[in-house]
Structure 1
């Protein structure tokens, strides 16, 4: 090891490392705020032209299911299919929302795996 070089990091590398740590802290704080926002969000999925509606929180916790009386006479199988389709719709909307918000949070940071 040559003198003044430390562990192979020059001053330029230390600045880069310091900036990377600052960015990581910003992302961590943003992720905490995002988690709080997601807990408060309500994302609605529906099926059958609005006959069945499912509401999830932004972090995909089921909050409610609303079934129109108009669909009750259609039978259990149809109702089950409509509830499943509404849940899938809400789930897809929530994952899209989470992905978009994470991209906003980490945009431009060139994080591996993002």
Structure 2
């Protein structure tokens, strides 16, 4: 198409590739807003669900842990479940970004801007 224009043909090809990558990255960001992970603590007595982007969506607490004398334990379990969900979200995000980079032919370890 741009034959005979030297490096301009390469530039057009690079611009097209950059636009495709930008579109794929936008799509991945939208998908990550919908993907959810669940972290838990206390052998599943407390569960926190968050999006891969880190937004806390739900908290599920087994009623058996509600003992007024154990308030601090319950608070610790809640925090631990939230931290677990956040850690899982971060791991999932990194996995998805690596998958995206690989599909774009980028070298391993190259960080995408999220």
TM-score, length basis structure 2:
0.77
TM-score, length basis structure 1:
0.77
Q: Does 1:81 align with 2:76?
A: yes
Q: Does 1:61 align with 2:55?
A: yes
Q: Does 1:45 align with 2:45?
A: no
CA change 1:72–1:112 in 2 (3 A) is closer
Query: Which protein has the larger Cα radius of gyration, Structure 1 or Structure 2?
Result: 1
* Aligned-residue RMSD, C-alpha: 2.3
Q: When the two structures are aligned, how many residues end up with a matched partner?
A: 104
Q: How many Å separate the matches in 1 of 2:24 and 2:15?
A: 14
Q: How many Å separate the matches in 1 of 2:95 and 2:9?
A: 30
- Which of structure 1's runs of 4+ aligned residues deviate more than 3 A? 13-20, 110-113
Give 1:14 deviation, angstroms: 4.4
